[in-house]
Amino acid sequence: MGVNVEGQINELINKLISEQAEDGSWKYPFETGILTDCCMIILLRTLQLEEDEDLIKSLTRRILNEQYEDGAWRLFLDEERGNISLTVSSYYALQISGYIDRDNPNLLQAKKFIIENGGIESVNMFTNVLLSLTGQKEWEVLFPIPVEAVLLPKSFPVNFFDISVFGRANIAPLLILADSKFVIKPLSSPKLNDLFIGESKNRKEEEMEETRSIIDFIEHGIKEIEEWHNDLHGKAIEYLEDYMIQHTEADGTLYSYFSATFYMIYAFLARGKSKNDPKIIKAISGLKSMICVINGNYHCQYTTANVWNTSLLSDAIQNAGVPTSHPTIIKATEYLLKRQHNKFGDWKIHSPRTLPGGWGFSNINTINPDIDDTSASLRSLSRLIHTQPIYQQSWNRGIQWILSMQNDDGGWASFERNVDNPLLNFLPYGEGLLMDASSTDLTGRTLEFLGMYTDIRKDHPQIKKATKWLFTRQNKEGSWDSRWGIYFIYGTWTAVLGLLAVNIGSDHPAIIRAKNWLTRIQNADGGWGESCRSDIAKKYVALKKSTLTHTAWALDALITISDKETPTIRKGINFLINEADIKERDNAYPVGQGLGGQFYIHYHSYQYVWPLITLVKYNKKFKHK
C-alpha cells in the first residue's frame, strides 16, 4: 500500500503544480449550483443588454442540463422532493432567456412540479424578491425591518452592525428595494401567472407574529431618534446607498458577492440611476469577471475562491515535501502576500484597537478578511517567516489580527468579533444570514493553526478559553456540528484536530467519543459521506455514497488520534486510492454550505487538497510501521 500511497501523493502534487495559474493562484471553481446562472440571465434580460447572447445561451444550456427527470431542480442530489424556489427561478430564467419556448417539454415538466408543490406562492424570501422586483409578483413585507433601523445608534440593543457582514451586504440593497417597491419589467418579459395556484398562505402572517416583538422594539427606537432628526427616512436611504458605494470593490462588485451585487444594481436603478450609469456597468462587468467554465458551459460563481484555494494548496504541497524554493511555492507566496489586507473594514467597529492584517476569500477582496483565510494563508507562509523580514512582518500582522478576533465566549466566528446578538434570532434567517457567531469549524481550525504553526503556549488564556468552548459544543454521540461544511463530519474533524493540537490527549473522553462516532459511520466501501440534509435536520444523515472530501476529513481525524494503523483507517485509505480518478460529475456533491437549506458549495479544489493532506499524514505516521 505504501507504494500506492506515495504514487498517489506524487500524482496529486504534479497535477496541482501543472494547474497553477500564471499569477501564482489556483482558480478552481467555487460552484454554487445554478441560482446565480438564473439570476444573471434575468439581470441581463431585464436590463435589455443585448451583447451577451453567447453567455445567455451557455447559461441556458447549463440550467437545462441540471434539471431532474421529475421536472424539478435540486440544491443537492438527494434533496428529497426537488426545490420549489430553485425550480421557479430556473423556469423563469429559461423563459426570459428567449431560447426556450414555454411549451418546451422541460418547462412543462417544471410547471407540473411547481403546481403540484404549492405553486409560486411557496417560494422562499429571496425568490420572492427576485419575482417582485422584476414584476412577476406584488411586493410583500418580505423582510420586515424598517429602513430607518440602519440609523439606530450602536448603543441600541440591536443595530445595523449587529448583523453579520454578509448579512449587511445583502440587506443594504434589499432594504432600498423593499422600501421603494421597485419594479423593472420589460415588455418582453414572460408572464408567470400560470404558476399561481390561488391558495392563500398563512405562513408569512405566522412568521410576522413570531418577529413582531423585536420589530416593535426597533420601531420604538426609531420613534425616539425621529424626535431629533428631520427626514429620517431620506437619511436612511442615503446612508444605505453610501454604504454600498463605500464597500464596492475595485471590480465594481459589492464585497465581491454575487447576490449583494445583483441586488445593488437594482437598488441603484431604484435610486434613479440609468442602466448605463458607470457604477452599474462596472458592477455587471465585475459579475462577469467571476464567470468560469464547468463541463463546457459558463457558470456565474457567487465569488471566487482564489485566496482560499491558494493558501490551502500551497501549504499542502509544501507539507508533501515540495521546498519553499520551488517556483510553484514562490509564485503562490507572492500572490498571497499581495492580498494581505491593509485597509480597515467593518470589523474594526467590534475590534477598534486592531490593525489590518487578515486575508479575504476571493481574488479581489480588500476589506472583508476572515479568520479561516487568514489562518490558512499564514500556514502557507509559516516555513518562510525566518528567511526574509517581509514574511515575518506579514506573519506578525496576521497573528495579531486572528487573536484579536476571538469572541468573548471563547470561540472564533467567520468575519467579525461578537456579532452574535441573540435578538436577531427573532428575524427571518437570523441564525444563518444575520448572525456570525462562534462556530466549531472556525474555532477548531484556528486552534489547530495556533497549536501546530505558532509558538503560543498551549496554556495561554485564549487557548484555554477556546478549548473550553469547544468541549461545550460536542454532541452526546461524539460529533460536532459546523458552519461552513457538511456538516457533522466537517465539524468533528475540525474540532478533533484543534483539540489535539493544543495538547488535549487522544485518551480524553471527548476525543474517544469522536473517534467512536467516526468509526461507526464509515460506509461499507471504506469511505465516508454525509448528506446536505444534515444541516437542515440538525442530525446526522448519511449520504448513500462516499465522497473523497468527507473521507479525507474523517481519516485525517482518525489518523491524528491513532498511534497505530487500524482496519478503519486502512479501509479509508484504500477508498482514497481506488476512487482517486472518480469522475468529476460523480464527485460534484456539495460539501460546503453558505446558508443551510438555501445555498451549498462544491469546491473543485477539495477533491485534491484534502486527500493530499490526509495521504501525506498517513504516509508520515504509518509507512514505517
Q: State the pLDDT at residue 202.
A: 46
Residue 331, amino acid: K
Catalytic residue list: 372
Residue 14, amino acid: N
CA distance 320 to 383: 13
Q: Is the pLDDT of residue 141 over 80?
A: no
Q: State the pLDDT at residue 544.
A: 85
User: Is the separation of the CB atoms in 561 and 516 below 8 Å?
Assistant: no
Confidence at 211, pLDDT banded by 50, 70, 90? confident
Average pLDDT (359-370) is 97
**SS3 category, 232:** helix
CA angle 10, 15, 20 (to 5 degrees): 130
If one counts every other C-beta atom within 10 angstroms of the C-beta of residue 138, the result is: 10
Q: Which residues on neighbouring strands pair with residue 542, listed in sequence order?
A: 530
CA distance 94 to 105: 12
User: Is the separation of the CB atoms in 151 and 226 below 8 Å?
Assistant: no
Report residue 370: phi and psi, to 5°. -140, 160
Average pLDDT (165-191) is 95
Burial of 34 (0-12, 13-18, 19+ CB in 10 A): buried
- % of the chain beyond a pLDDT of 70: 95
Q: State the pLDDT at residue 245.
A: 98
Extract the C-alpha cell encoding 277.
Answer: 450609469
Least confident of 367-371, 520-524, 592-596: 592-596
pLDDT digits (tens, 9 = 90+) for 73-99: 999 999 988 999 999 999 999 999 999
* CB < 8 Å & 24+ apart, contacts of 559-568: 559/614, 559/617, 559/618, 559/621, 559/622, 560/496, 560/497, 560/500, 560/617, 561/496, 561/500, 561/506, 561/511, 561/514, 561/515, 562/506, 562/515, 563/506, 564/622, 564/625, 565/622, 565/625, 568/519, 568/522
Torsion of CA 408, 413, 415, 416, to 10 degrees: -10
Q: Is the pLDDT of residue 200 over 60?
A: no
**SS3 category, 26:** coil
Residues 6+ apart with CB under 8 A from 224: none
pTM: 0.95
Q: Is the pLDDT of residue 263 over 70?
A: yes
Compute CA distances 536 → 59, 429, 531, 595, whole Å. Answer: 29, 13, 10, 10
Confidence at 582, pLDDT banded by 50, 70, 90? low
Q: Is the pLDDT of residue 291 over 70?
A: yes
Residues 6+ apart with CB under 8 A from 205: none
Least confident of 118-122, 450-454, 463-467, 584-588: 584-588
Residues 6+ apart with CB under 8 A from 275: 47, 48, 49, 269
Give the dihedral sign, CA 275/280/285/290. Answer: negative
Least confident of 190-199, 260-269, 367-376: 190-199
Q: Is the pLDDT of residue 349 over 70?
A: yes
Residue owning grid cell 515575518: 392
Report which secondary-structure segment, H or E, holds 57. Answer: helix 53-65
What is the pLDDT of the chain when averaged over all its residues?
93
Average pLDDT (508-537) is 97
Confidence at 227, pLDDT banded by 50, 70, 90? confident
Q: Is the pLDDT of residue 203 over 50?
A: no
Beta strands in 516-606 (DSSP E): 528-530, 542-547, 592-595, 599-603
Confidence at 230, pLDDT banded by 50, 70, 90? confident
